[in-house]
């Protein structure tokens, strides 16, 4: 079964220039539903589809085994505007 930690580690080691990764298990314990936020300047100049493709690529095997997966990708500047 996948945990928040597994996904966080995989993203942090696969995607360069990571500023922040937030993984939330929304499954109430079965590990089948995750919400992910990734902040990295690697997303600079990339549209939303390209950004998601980067994360989908990093979690290729994991996503295949779970039921629900949601992902938001931000650059550091965009993230700064959201958290303030």
Partner 1 sequence: MFRRNLMATGRLIGNQTLTQMRQTIYRPQLVAFMSTEIRKAIEDAVSSAPVVLFMKGTPEFPQCGFSKATIGILGQQGVDPLKFAAYNVLEDPELREAIKEFTEWPTIPQLFVNSEFVGGCDVIKSMAKSGELTELLEEAKVLVPEDYNSEKDP
Q: Which 27-56 positions form the footprint of partner 1 (CB under 8 A)?
A: 48-49, 52-53, 56
The values of phi and psi at residue 12, to 5°, are: -65, -35
Q: Is the separation of the CB atoms in 34 and 2 below 8 Å?
A: yes
Tokens 């990734």, residue located:
38
Minimum CB–partner distance for residue 26 and partner 1 (Å) = 10
Minimum CB–partner distance for residue 37 and partner 1 (Å) = 10
Q: Which residues bind partner 1 (CB under 8 A)?
A: 48-49, 52-53, 56, 60, 63-64, 68-72
């Amino acid at each position: 079964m996948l945990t928040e930690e597994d996904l966080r580690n995989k993203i942090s080691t696969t995607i360069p220039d990571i500023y922040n990764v937030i993984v939330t298990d929304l499954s109430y314990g079965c590990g089948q539903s995750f919400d992910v936020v990734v902040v990295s300047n690697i997303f600079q100049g990339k549209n939303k589809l390209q950004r998601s493709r980067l994360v989908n690529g990093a979690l290729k095997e994991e996503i295949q085994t779970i039921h629900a997966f949601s992902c938001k990708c931000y650059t550091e500047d965009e993230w700064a505007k959201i958290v303030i």
